[in-house]
């Protein structure tokens, strides 16, 4: 018998309300429910024209973001990149990043590795300002 775990990402607990972000963002972190040991996967559903209210970077963990539906922009340090559905973008750990949904909103899957469950994240509120 194989050793696997299956989880529907849309059924993972939405953590955004715990951080006061539920009006424009769903954040479903599946590392623990999937019993991942060395990586992470998350689902973000971003309301139309909503910009995540913080930028973040990691000490070591690189991430890949896949825009599943809608439109979005991602700010990477000083560069803004437009994303189309099914675009995948790799972001090195130390690069500051922040996502903004387009007029139709956005659904994004994020993959990160390595991840040992420790928070090697630095978050900066209101990092992306015009």
CA distances from 12 to 61, 92, 104, 119, 123 (A): 22, 26, 23, 19, 23
Question: 49 near 102, Cβ under 8 Å?
Answer: yes
41 close to 31: Cβ distance less than 8 angstroms: yes
CATH of domain 27-125: 2.60.120.10
For 85-115, write each residue's pLDDT tens digit.
999 999 999 999 999 999 999 999 999 987 7
> What are the boundaries of each domain within the chain?
27-125
| 85, two tokens | 């559905």
pLDDT tens for 54-92 read: 999 998 899 999 999 999 999 999 999 999 999 999 999
């Amino acid at each position: 018998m194989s050793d696997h775990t299956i989880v529907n990402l849309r059924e993972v607990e939405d953590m955004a309300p715990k951080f006061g972000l539920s009006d424009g963002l769903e954040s479903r972190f599946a590392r623990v429910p999937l019993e991942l040991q060395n990586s992470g996967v998350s689902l973000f559903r971003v309301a139309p024209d909503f910009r995540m209210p913080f930028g973040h970077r990691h000490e070591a963990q690189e991430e890949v973001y896949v825009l599943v539906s809608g439109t979005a922009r991602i700010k990477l340090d000083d560069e803004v990149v437009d994303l189309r559905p099914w675009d995948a973008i790799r972001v090195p750990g130390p690069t500051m990043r922040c996502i903004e949904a387009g007029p139709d909103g956005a659904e994004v899957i994020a993959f990160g590795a390595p991840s040992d469950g420790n928070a090697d994240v630095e978050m900066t509120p209101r990092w992306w300002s015009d």
